[in-house]
């Protein structure tokens, strides 16, 4: 497989491992709405922020969306990774050059992106997906980067028309699109997209209560299944010649209707006999003049809730693509996502106007993404309880999209946003989220209030590193902070619940019971007296794992006075803090 190489790549391939774990502090004064809503806005370098969040959210994020710098040569961006490589120090931290043929600009951009993507992958669930907006400046390089980092994922590139007028690029073809790169995990299943107005128009009939429906052929036209199933679904339905009444029992004088294939051979119905009998009053017969035959149709409702009230939840006796194979519930009316996205709702111009409305007539951020684009991605992901991560938050479109969609479909999605620039994080991202949560006025000559979406978020900043320059635990570190890091370093999974210093057992994972003996340093108090050493007495008083646990007990402490023989006899592994904490 072709490999992308650039100057400085060797220095950044493993750089994500060298980034220090930092503490995350929440600032109540800059938060808004319900602080318990589970949403975060983190101000800080997104590389360090991702490393700080990893012990809490690794493997829990269903969808990641990022809108990184496009590296057009006309931007000012600073991502200081504090690496020791002389070649990277000469690039990172400087303004990117404007010259289009300055290849070091592309090297620098790739060095900035690689460790961030590497960390982002660790946040995804097995059925999650990564999405990134990008334009032609770095698209080809970025595709190679994503393929390398997200190995084993299905990679799809979707052109997105977001500027119907085209950019004002004199001397070139006027660009009216950019790209959305998607990397889908091995267990990812698309939930489809909402129907367009044109697709909704197909549901042209209405029942007695006004609910719209369409008629679908009860015959199954395609697909050859096993003979037993084909026989089970190939039975006659009888129609009264004087009315549209139907029966599965043969009645003298009634018209026999059998499922026929296009070639005239006997086919099968989508529903089994039991289901047809149960819902026969909902079926609609029709005469096809072309072949002088009767046909049977069934109703498909635009409102799937209406359909669920009418039809059975027992899928055992029918074969219908419009129903879930396991639950029998009607599948939400969706359409297959296409490999090309366009529409006025996706335009950058409309996104800018919407942002201007929120901020009372001023647009504080250039080239924001549209809420509709993010919501299209969220529909594709499908999970109403999904955790969404955006580490290049900008104006906060992703958070706005999550809050708005939750309000529309009663979802419980949560977001984590990271924004590096302090002025943007506080004055634009946080302010936008606060305004859409509480409601705002569009302004202008006529008052135009917009109702709040509800929800809330915590505003967070990055604090001290977990370990100081000498490798010792920093003075500001608390028991819950260290416990989260220790558990993640040992198991690779987030801690099950916030640790309480009242118990040294901080969690169980994969036949491991993880313990932490730690109290923040107190001047004049010996480590053993503080409870930071695994002594024979401390070993005897370790909380017992749940009944039936047969795995190893892993104990983290600053020291150990228990003999190796006793540790082995009691299935205990001692690991010294900080030297034996992996992943530092």
Q: Is the peptide bond before 578 cis (omega within 30 degrees of 0)?
A: yes
pTM: 0.77
Residue 116 maps to a domain: yes
Residue 584 maps to a domain: no
Residues 287, 289, 295, 296: is their CA dihedral positive or negative? Answer: negative
Q: How far apart are CA 191 and CA 337, in angstroms?
A: 9
Same domain, 415 and 361: yes
Residue 305 maps to a domain: yes
Report the interhelical angle of 46-57 vs 479-491 (nearest 10°): 80
Residue 582 maps to a domain: no
Residue 113 maps to a domain: yes
C-alpha distances (whole Å) from 110 to each of 8, 123, 302, 392 are 9, 21, 47, 16
Residue 327 has what pLDDT? Answer: 40
Tens-digit pLDDT profile for residues 192-201: 888 777 778 8
Tens-digit pLDDT profile for residues 327-383: 444 445 777 888 999 888 999 999 999 999 999 889 999 889 999 999 999 999 999
Same domain, 418 and 273: no
Q: How far apart are CA 214 and CA 368, in angstroms?
A: 39
Residue 310 maps to a domain: yes
Q: Does residue 565 carry a pLDDT above 70? A: yes
Answer yes or no: are the C-beta atoms of 121 and 130 closer than 8 Å: yes
Q: Does residue 86 carry a pLDDT above 70? A: no
Tell which wins on pLDDT, 103 or 171.
Answer: 171
Residue in the block written with tokens 């010294």: 576
Residue in the block written with tokens 């590139």: 157
Stretch among 50-59, 418-427, 472-481 having the lowest mean pLDDT: 472-481
Which tokens in the block code for residue 212? 């719209």
Name the percent of the chain lying above pLDDT 90.
Answer: 49
Tens-digit pLDDT profile for residues 265-280: 888 999 989 889 989 9
Q: CATH no. for residue 372?
A: 3.40.50.150
Give mean pLDDT, residues 23-45: 92
Tell me how far the alpha carbon of residue 446 is from its chain's centroid. Answer: 39
Q: Does residue 317 carry a pLDDT above 70? A: no
Q: How far apart are CA 442 and CA 444, in angstroms?
A: 7
Same domain, 117 and 28: yes
Name the percent of the chain lying above pLDDT 70.
Answer: 85
Residue 318 has what pLDDT? Answer: 37
Residue 95 has what pLDDT? Answer: 33
Residue 222 maps to a domain: yes
Range of the domain at 528: 472-576
pLDDT band for 501, please (50, 70, 90 cuts).
confident
Burial 105-130 (b: 16+ CB within 10 A, else e): bbbbbbbbbbbbbbbbbebbbeebbb
Same domain, 186 and 232: no
Tens-digit pLDDT profile for residues 254-264: 999 999 887 77
C-alpha distances (whole Å) from 333 to each of 18, 241, 270, 320, 322 are 47, 35, 18, 14, 8
Give mean pLDDT, residues 572-584: 77
Same domain, 173 and 321: no
Q: Does residue 87 carry a pLDDT above 60? A: no
Give mean pLDDT, residues 74-97: 52
Same domain, 39 and 155: yes
Tens-digit pLDDT profile for residues 138-187: 999 999 999 999 999 999 999 999 887 877 766 678 888 999 999 999 89
Give mean pLDDT, residues 477-506: 88
Mean pLDDT is highest, among 203-207, 260-264, 386-390, 447-451, for: 386-390
Answer yes or no: are the C-beta atoms of 260 and 219 closer than 8 Å: yes
DSSP-derived secondary structure for 510-527: TTEEEEE------TT--H
Q: To the nearest whole number, what is the mean pLDDT of the chain? A: 85
Residue 584 has what pLDDT? Answer: 39
Tell which wins on pLDDT, 226 or 69.
Answer: 69
Q: What is the DSSP letter of 367?
A: S
Tell me how far the alpha carbon of residue 531 is from its chain's centroid. Answer: 41
Which tokens in the block code for residue 169? 């690029």
Last residue of a domain, one of 300, 334, 368: 334
pLDDT band for 529, please (50, 70, 90 cuts).
low
DSSP-derived secondary structure for 29-90: EEEEE-TTS--EEEES-HHHHHHHHHHHHTT-EEEEEE------SS-----------HHHHT
Which tokens in the block code for residue 421? 């620039």
Tens-digit pLDDT profile for residues 206-218: 888 888 889 999 9
Residue 91 has what pLDDT? Answer: 46
Burial classification of residue 394, based on how many CB atoms lie within 10 Å of its CB (0-12 exposed, 13-18 middle, 19 or more buried): buried
pLDDT band for 434, please (50, 70, 90 cuts).
very high
Residue 4 maps to a domain: no
pLDDT band for 534, please (50, 70, 90 cuts).
very high
Residue 232 has what pLDDT? Answer: 78
Same domain, 306 and 213: yes
Same domain, 176 and 112: yes
Same domain, 224 and 167: no
Q: How far apart are CA 455 and CA 275, in angstroms?
A: 43
Same domain, 365 and 510: no
Structurally, how many domains does the chain consist of? 3
Same domain, 308 and 407: no
Same domain, 321 and 234: yes
Last residue of a domain, one of 286, 306, 334: 334
Tens-digit pLDDT profile for residues 283-311: 999 998 887 889 999 988 887 667 767 77
Last residue of a domain, one of 334, 354, 375: 334
């Amino acid at each position: 497989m072709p490999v992308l190489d650039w100057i400085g790549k060797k220095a950044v391939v493993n750089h994500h491992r060298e980034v220090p774990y930092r503490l995350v502090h929440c600032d109540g004064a800059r938060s808004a709405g319900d602080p318990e809503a589970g949403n975060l806005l983190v101000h800080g370098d997104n590389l360090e922020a991702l490393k700080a969040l990893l012990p809490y959210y690794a493997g829990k994020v269903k969808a990641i969306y990022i809108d990184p710098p496009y590296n057009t040569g006309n931007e000012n961006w600073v991502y200081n990774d504090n690496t020791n490589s002389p070649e990277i120090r000469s690039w990172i931290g400087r303004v990117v050059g404007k010259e289009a043929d300055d290849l070091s600009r592309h090297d620098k951009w790739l060095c900035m992106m690689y460790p961030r993507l590497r960390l982002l992958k660790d946040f995804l669930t097995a059925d999650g997906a990564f999405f990134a907006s990008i334009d032609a400046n770095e698209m080809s390089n970025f595709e190679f980067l994503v393929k390398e980092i997200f190995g084993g994922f299905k990679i799809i590139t979707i052109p997105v028309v977001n500027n119907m007028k085209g950019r004002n690029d004199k001397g070139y073809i006027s660009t009216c699109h950019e790209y959305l790169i998607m990397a889908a995990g091995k267990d990812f299943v698309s939930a489809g997209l909402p129907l367009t107005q044109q697709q909704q128009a197909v549901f042209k009939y209405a029942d007695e209560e006004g609910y719209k429906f369409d008629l679908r052929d009860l015959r199954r036209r395609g697909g050859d299944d096993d003979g037993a199933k084909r026989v089970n679904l190939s039975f006659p339905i009888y129609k009264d010649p004087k009315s549209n009444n139907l029966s599965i029992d043969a009645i003298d004088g009634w018209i026999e209707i059998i499922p026929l294939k296009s070639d005239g051979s006997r086919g099968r119905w989508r529903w089994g006999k039991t289901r047809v009998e149960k819902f026969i009053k909902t079926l609609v017969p029709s005469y096809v003049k072309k072949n002088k035959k009767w046909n049977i149709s069934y109703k498909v409702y635009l409102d799937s809730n209406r359909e669920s009230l009418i039809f059975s939840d027992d899928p055992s006796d029918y074969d219908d693509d419009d129903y879930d194979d396991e639950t029998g519930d009607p599948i939400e009316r969706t359409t297959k996502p296409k490999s090309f996205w366009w529409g006025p709702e996706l335009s950058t111009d409309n996104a800018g106007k919407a942002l201007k409305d929120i901020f009372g007539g001023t647009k504080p951020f250039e080239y924001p993404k549209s809420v509709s684009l993010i919501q299209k991605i969220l529909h594709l992901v499908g999970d109403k309880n999904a955790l969404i991560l955006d580490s290049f938050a900008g104006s906060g479109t992703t958070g706005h999209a999550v809050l708005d969609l939750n309000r529309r479909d009663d979802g419980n999605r949560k977001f984590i946003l990271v924004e590096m620039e302090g002025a943007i994080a506080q004055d634009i991202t946080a302010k936008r989220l606060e305004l859409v949560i509480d409601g705002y006025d569009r302004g202008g000559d006529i008052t135009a209030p917009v109702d709040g979406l509800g929800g809330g978020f915590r505003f967070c900043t990055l604090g001290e590193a977990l370990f100081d320059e000498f490798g010792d635990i920093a003075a500001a570190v608390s028991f819950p902070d260290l416990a989260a890091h220790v558990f993640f370093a040992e198991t690779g999974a987030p801690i099950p619940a916030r640790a309480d210093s009242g118990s040294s057992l901080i969690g169980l994972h994969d036949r491991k019971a993880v313990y932490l003996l730690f109290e923040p340093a107190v001047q004049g108090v010996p480590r053993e007296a503080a409870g930071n050493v695994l002594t024979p007495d401390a070993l005897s008083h370790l909380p017992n794992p749940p009944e039936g646990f047969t795995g190893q007990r892993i104990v983290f402490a600053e020291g150990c006075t228990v003999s190796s023989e006793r540790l082995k006899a009691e299935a205990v592994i001692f690991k010294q803090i900080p030297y034996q904490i992996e992943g530092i």
